[in-house]
Every structure is written in structure tokens, then in C-alpha cells.
């Protein structure tokens, strides 16, 4: 029995390792190519590692402005999503009215709608409202598209905060919004951070929405500029592409690391979703 | 606490037995719901608005150039007739089905479940290594993932190096089998989600249940099939619905890898819609396709909701 256990554990490890290697290979390419002046398409460690590729892309047009645009766009949208989601989650979590159930069902229903499909009419709407190529309009649309899922998750996390503490505050005459700010939010900040970080990571990687709604090169975020810089003119410089990919990916990697060290990582999200 | 001091309007019913707000004044109820208004406002303008606009535009000849640009007029079901009669549209539907089936329902779902199951029986180092690699692929921005996998599947890429090493012939996979290549790419990028959902679900199965099944002599596969899987049916349903919906609207990954090509060999519905609406400026026709996609998404979403509801009841 014990020998069999050991065997099955060994087999599990080997299978897992094999799958892990398949996931790692493409990632290794970007690491090695970024320090290779003559990078090609296969995974190979450069004979003369160099930081030249990074130096080549670290300038205003290629890196600094798109990354800053991305931070403004995704940071703004993620914050807007979070504020609206927290405000909306409070009455949904705390009070039971006839309105709650239909609203929550609608929210859940919206999480299933393909945002890609909405983009054509959204573009039409933006033309009519004169919002095409404005950061403000794009921020509001990105926030809205993340909102249904964020409301759902925030409410789930908020349900975990016991209501008894607020009841004491209500007795002391505190209003709803004060109870939310002073009692509920401090108790559920890990949940808030999880939702906020995942919303931001999702937006940071989103290509289609800013690709459709923003036009001027000086407003494009990193997710689109990487495509316009490297995707459109034939054979790109792979080393620089890899270096740029790494720079562009770093913010979300750092955020993810923060999440996994402090908050139980993505597994917290899995727990909230699995229903 | 002998007296109830708190004003009725802001007193919630105790969480266990919240009642319908029947006894309370309507105005007070409205005030309590006021914090919902920013969310509702945004969703009305930027979600409900476009969808209604979509329903309208899909029945017109709206276009960015030509006659449809000058005077928009209703054309009834013409756009839909045109779509269902067109080979390119049927092709896009088929490719979308293949893409969803291979990458979501078979790939991400099975691999995610497999990873979650294997992880329970593995050593910590291996578990952490694989978990980090899989989640790393998921956190990467869409376009970066697309470039990494384009390199991987390319003629000179790592996949062919590996195939040559074991004596198999290689080829440019993005050219020879584009829909398979983008499906595999989507598995690579999206499996983490299923893995996380299943890890969470599996961690809630009490150890005793599986142990007692083992005592009764149920072997590995039988235990999985008759004990473990039935206990996570709900997670399986939730996961299948969510990844199907996500996969139906994948755009950036395919667009950056193949642009729908070569020809239209990997042009799924979102890419076809984009091409019609923006490359060919046929907004009316493009919104008709968008409406078809929304309808497919809505049907899946409703099935998902029903599933959740019947479980809860």
C-alpha cells in the first residue's frame, strides 16, 4: 500500500513536471531572447548576453509614454470599477429588497455577455457621443465592462463580513455610508485588493477595447502600442520585442506577486468563483 | 439593549431572515438603494445602450462609407439573410465552434481539472513550480502571449526544434494548422483559470469521504468517477460556462497571432465581425453578426443562471 502510494506520487510529479515544462518553454524564450542581440524564434541561451535590447526600447515613444498611458487608463478604470462596485455591493449585501434578486441575476447575466460583440455598437455610440479617441470615454467603458464581475465578487467578499458590528454602529447613529467606510471596508480590504488587482491585470492585458476606441499614437496604452510597433512591419526585431514584452509585463507580475504573498493569490479568486 | 434607537429606514433585517421590504416606506427603500446608482448609470449608458443600439443597427444598412453612410434605412432581415447565406460567415461559425471545443471544453477544462487533481498528490516543490508556470502564462498580457506562442509555433520555433530532436518532421504550424495552433495557444493562456476553480472546489471535499471509498476498495479511476467528480459537479458546470463564454469572445490572441489567416482559416466570429464592420465599413452587417454573438452568449449565460438557481433551490 505504501509502495503504491509512493509510486502514484512519483507518477503525479513526473506528469506535472512534463506539463510544467511545456508551459515554461514559451516563457523561457522571452527571457533569453530579451538579452540576445541576434535573437531568433527558438529557445536558446545567448552566447553574449547583453542589455542592448532594453536600452533600444527604453525611450519615450516606445516605452515610457505607452506604459504611462496604460497606468492612467487601467488605473483610472480599475479605481472607477472598484468605487462603483463597493457602493453597489453594500446595499446588495446588507439589505434585502425585492430589487436585489433581479439585479444580481442581471449582473450575473452581464458577466456572460461577450464584450467583444458589444464593441461594434460601442464604437457607433462613441462616434455619436464624440467620445472616440478620448481617455475619459475609454476609461468609463472599460470600467463598465469590468463592473458586473467586480460587483459580484465584491458582494461575495462583503457577505463574509458579519453584520453585527454595523448594527452597533447604527445604534450609535452612524449612517450607512459611514458604517461602510469605518467598519466594513477595513474588515474586507484583502477582498477589495483581490478584486482591484485582478480588474487591473485584466485591463492591462486587454487589447481590443483600447485598440478600437483610441486612435492617436500618443494616447495608446502599452497593450496596443506593442502591436503597432512590432506587429505591422514585417519581420520584427525579436530581441527588442522580447525586451519590450518583459517591461510591459513587469507591472502585472509585481502586482500578482504582491497578491500571492499577502492575499493567498489567485486561489482566493478561485474560491470566490467556484460557486 | 432595551430600546430600538436606530431609525427604521437604515435598519437592515437580521441577515438570517431578511424580509421583503414590504412594510417599509418606498422612499426609504429607494434611499438605501441609492449607492447602486453609479453602477446602474454606467451599465445603462455603456452596456445597455450599446446593446439596444446593436439591436437597432443590425436591421439597417448603416455603413461608414457609401450609401449606408449618407442615409441609413431599415433593411429588415437582410443582414441576417446575407450572413447565413455567406460562406465566410458559416466558416467563422464553424471555426468558432472548433476553437471553443478544443481550447475551452476539452483543453482548458480537462487540463485544469487534471492539474488540480495531480497537484493534490505531488510534492510541494513540483506543485509550486507548475502552479507558477501555469499562472504566469495566464497573467501575461494577451498580445505578449500571442507573440510568445507565435514564436513557439513558427517554422524556426521551439516546437519544431523539439519535434526534430525526436525525429519527427516540423512545419510552420501557424500556416499548416492555424486553428489548432491558436486553440493550443488559448489552452496555454487560459488553463490557469480552470485549475484555480478546480483547486478551490477539490480542497472542500472532506478527506474522509475519499479515504472511506479507498477502504472499500475503489481504485483510482473509479474513485475519481464515482466519488470525487460528483462532489464537484457544480464547479464543473460553473467553470464550463465561464470558460466557454470567455473563449467565444477571444479576439486579441488570434488577431495578433494570425489575423484570422492564412486566408480565413482561423477567422473566428469576433474576427469576422471586426473585418466586416471596420475593414469593410459595413456597420449594419457587423452589428448583425455582433447580435448573433450576443444571442449565443445570452443563451449560454441563461443556461448558467438556471444551473446556479436549481442548485441553490
Is-contact A100 B286, C-beta < 8 A? no
Q: How far is CA B102 from CA B45, B108, B145, B181, in A?
A: 36, 8, 18, 11
More confident residue, B86 or A231: B86
Based on the domain organization, do A250 and A127 belong to the same domain? yes
pLDDT at A274 over 60: no
Interface of B with A in 205-224 (CB under 8 A): 220
Q: Are residues A44 and A59 in the same domain?
A: no
Would the CA dihedral through B96, B97, B100, B106 be positive or negative? negative
Give the per-residue pLDDT at A210. Answer: 94
Q: Within a domain: residue B7?
A: no
Give the tens place of pLDDT for each residue, B26-40.
Answer: 777 778 888 899 999
Q: What is the pLDDT of residue A69?
A: 94
Check whether residue A245 and residue A162 sit in a common domain: yes
- The pLDDT value recorded for residue B17 is 38
Q: DSSP strand E in chain B: where?
A: none
Q: Predicted confidence band at B157 (pLDDT cuts at 50, 70, 90)?
A: confident
Contact B75, B284 (CB under 8 A): yes
Work out the average pLDDT over A258-266: 69
More confident residue, A237 or B127: B127
Among B118, B147, B258, B304, the strongest candidate for a mutation testing the A interface, having the largest count of A CBs within 10 A, is: B147
A45 and A58 fall within a common domain? no
Closest CA to B301 of A117, A85, A243: A117
Domain span holding position B99: 78-312
In the predicted structure, residue B22 carries a pLDDT above the cut 60: no
Last residue of a domain, one of A9, A34, A50: A50
Same domain, A24 and A147: no
pLDDT, mean over chain B: 83
Task: Provide mean pLDDT across the span B79-90.
Answer: 90
**Domain assignment of residue B257, yes or no:** yes
Grid cell, residue B86, equals: 455567406
- Residue B163 is assigned to a structural domain of this protein: yes
A67: CB partners within 8 A, 6+ apart: A221, A222, A247, A248, A251
State the pLDDT confidence band at A177, using cuts at 50, 70 and 90.
confident
If asked whether residues A77 and A109 sit together in one domain, one would say yes
Q: Does A71 share its domain with A117?
A: yes
How close A205 comes to chain B (CA, Å)?
4
**Cα–Cα distance for residue pair B290/B92, rounded to 1 Å:** 13
Helix, strand, or coil (residue A129): helix
CATH number of the domain enclosing A235: 1.10.3720.10
**Is residue B67 in some structural domain?**
no
Query: For residue B9, what pLDDT band results from cuts at 50, 70 and 90?
Result: very low
pLDDT band, residue B16 (cuts 50/70/90): very low
- Residues composing chain A: 275
Q: Do A144 and B151 touch (CB under 8 A)?
A: no
ipTM of this complex: 0.84
Same domain, A90 and A16: no
B51–A121 CB contact, under 8 Å:
yes
Count of domains in chain A? 2
- Residue B140's pLDDT is 87
Cβ-contact B252, B182 below 8 angstroms: no
Q: How many residues does chain B have?
A: 313
Spatial CB neighbours of B178, under 8 Å, sequence gap ≥ 6: B258, B261, B262, B265, B266
**C-alpha distance from A140 to closest chain B C-alpha (Å):** 7
Q: What CATH number corresponds to the domain at position B111?
A: 1.10.3720.10
pLDDT in tens, B88-127: 999 999 999 999 999 999 999 999 999 999 998 888 899 8
Q: Are residues A268 and A238 in the same domain?
A: yes
Q: Which three cell numbers stand for residue B26?
A: 418606498
Distance from CA of B197 to the nearest CA of A (A): 4
- According to DSSP, residue B244 is labeled H
Determine, yes or no, domain membership for B88: yes
Q: Does any domain span residue B70?
A: no
Question: Is pLDDT of A7 > 90?
Answer: no
Query: Does A166 share its domain with A198?
Result: yes
Q: Is the pLDDT score of B306 beyond 50?
A: yes
Residues A90 and A11 in one domain: no
Contacts of B133 by beta carbon, 8 Å cutoff, 6+ apart: A20, A23, A24, A27
In a domain, residue B71? The reply is no
Residue B151 scores a pLDDT above 80: yes
Confirm if A134 and B22 have CB atoms less than 8 A apart.
Answer: no
| Domain match, A70 and A94 both | yes
pLDDT above 70 covers a percentage of chain A that reads 92
Whether chain A has a CB inside 8 Å of the CB on B72: the answer is: no
What residues make up the domain containing A93? 54-273
* Number of domains chain B contains: 1
Contact B130 A19 (CB under 8 A): yes
Mean pLDDT over B53-68 rounds to 81
Assign 3-state DSSP to chain A and report helix, strand, coil percentages, each to 5: 80, 0, 20
How high is the pLDDT of residue A11?
87
Which of B10, B63, B143 to mutate against chain A (most A CBs within 10 Å)?
B143
Tell me: pLDDT of A266 over 50: yes
Per-residue pLDDT reduced to its tens digit, B167-178: 888 888 888 889
Interchain proximity B157–A114, CB inside 8 Å: no
Amino acid at each position: 500500500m505504501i509502495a503504491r502510494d509512493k509510486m502514484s506520487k512519483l507518477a503525479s510529479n513526473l506528469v506535472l513536471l512534463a506539463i510544467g515544462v511545456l508551459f515554461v518553454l514559451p516563457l523561457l524564450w522571452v527571457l533569453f531572447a530579451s538579452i540576445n542581440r541576434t535573437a531568433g524564434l527558438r529557445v536558446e541561451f545567448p552566447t553574449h548576453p547583453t542589455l542592448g535590447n532594453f536600452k533600444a526600447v527604453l525611450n519615450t515613444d516606445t516605452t515610457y509614454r505607452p506604459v504611462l498611458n496604460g497606468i492612467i487608463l487601467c488605473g483610472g478604470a480599475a479605481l472607477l470599477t472598484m468605487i462603483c462596485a463597493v457602493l453597489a455591493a453594500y446595499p446588495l449585501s446588507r439589505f434585502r429588497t425585492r430589487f436585489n434578486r433581479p439585479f444580481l441575476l442581471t449582473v450575473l447575466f452581464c458577466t456572460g455577455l461577450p464584450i467583444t460583440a458589444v464593441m461594434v455598437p460601442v464604437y457607433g455610440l462613441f462616434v455619436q457621443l464624440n467620445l472616440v479617441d478620448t481617455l475619459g470615454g475609454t476609461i468609463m467603458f472599460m470600467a463598465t465592462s469590468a463592473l458586473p464581475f467586480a460587483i459580484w465578487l465584491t458582494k461575495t467578499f462583503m457577505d463574509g463580513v458579519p453584520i453585527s458590528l454595523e448594527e452597533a454602529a447604527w445604534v450609535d447613529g452612524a449612517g450607512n455610508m459611514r458604517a461602510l467606510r469605518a467598519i466594513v471596508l477595513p474588515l474586507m480590504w484583502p477582498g477589495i485588493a483581490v478584486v482591484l488587482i485582478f480588474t487591473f491585470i485584466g485591463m492591462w492585458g486587454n487589447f481590443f477595447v483600447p485598440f478600437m476606441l483610441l486612435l492617436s499614437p500618443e494616447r495608446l496604452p502599452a497593450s496596443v502600442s506593442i502591436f503597432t510597433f512590432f506587429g505591422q512591419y514585417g519581420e520584427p526585431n525579436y530581441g527588442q520585442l522580447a525586451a519590450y514584452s518583459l517591461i510591459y509585463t513587469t507591472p502585472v507580475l509585481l502586482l500578482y506577486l504582491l497578491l500571492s504573498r499577502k492575499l493567498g493569490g489567485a486561489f482566493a479568486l478561485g474560491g470566490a468563483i467556484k460557486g | 439593549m432595551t430600546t430600538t434607537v436606530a431609525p427604521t429606514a437604515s435598519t437592515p433585517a437580521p441577515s438570517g431572515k431578511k424580509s421583503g421590504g414590504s412594510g417599509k416606506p418606498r422612499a426609504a427603500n429607494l434611499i438605501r438603494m441609492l449607492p447602486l446608482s453609479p453602477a446602474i448609470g454606467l451599465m445603462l449608458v455603456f452596456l445597455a445602450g450599446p446593446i439596444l443600439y446593436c439591436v437597432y443597427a443590425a436591421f439597417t444598412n448603416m455603413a461608414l462609407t457609401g450609401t449606408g453612410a449618407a442615409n441609413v434605412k431599415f433593411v429588415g432581415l437582410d443582414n441576417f439573410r446575407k450572413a447565413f447565406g455567406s460562406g465566410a460567415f458559416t466558416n467563422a461559425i464553424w471555426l468558432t465552434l472548433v476553437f471553443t471545443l478544443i481550447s475551452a471544453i476539452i483543453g482548458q477544462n480537462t487540463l485544469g481539472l487534471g492539474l488540480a487533481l495531480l497537484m493534490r498528490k505531488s510534492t510541494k516543490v513540483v506543485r509550486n513550480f507548475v502552479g507558477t508556470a501555469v499562472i504566469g502564462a495566464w497573467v501575461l498580457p494577451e498580445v505578449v502571449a500571442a507573440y510568445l506562442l507565435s514564436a513557439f509555433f513558427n517554422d524556426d520555433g521551439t516546437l519544431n526544434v523539439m519535434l526534430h530532436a525526436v525525429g519527427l518532421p516540423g512545419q510552420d504550424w501557424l500556416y499548416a494548422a492555424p486553428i489548432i495552433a491558436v486553440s493550443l495557444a488559448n489552452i496555454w493562456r487560459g488553463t490557469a483559470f480552470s485549475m484555480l476553480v478546480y483547486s478551490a472546489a477539490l480542497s472542500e471535499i472532506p478527506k474522509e469521504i475519499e479515504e472511506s471509498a479507498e477502504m472499500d476498495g475503489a481504485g483510482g479511476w473509479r474513485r475519481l468517477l464515482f466519488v470525487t467528480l460528483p462532489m464537484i459537479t457544480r464547479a464543473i458546470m460553473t467553470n464550463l460556462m465561464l470558460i466557454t463564454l470567455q473563449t467565444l469572445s477571444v479576439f486579441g490572441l488570434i488577431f495578433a497571432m494570425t489575423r484570422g489567416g492564412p486566408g480565413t482559416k482561423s477567422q473566428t466570429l469576433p474576427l469576422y465581425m471586426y473585418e466586416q464592420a471596420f475593414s469593410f465599413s459595413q456597420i449594419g452587417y457587423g452589428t448583425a453578426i455582433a447580435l448573433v454573438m450576443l444571442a449565443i452568449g445570452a443563451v449560454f449565460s441563461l443556461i448558467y443562471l438556471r444551473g446556479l438557481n436549481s442548485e441553490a433551490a
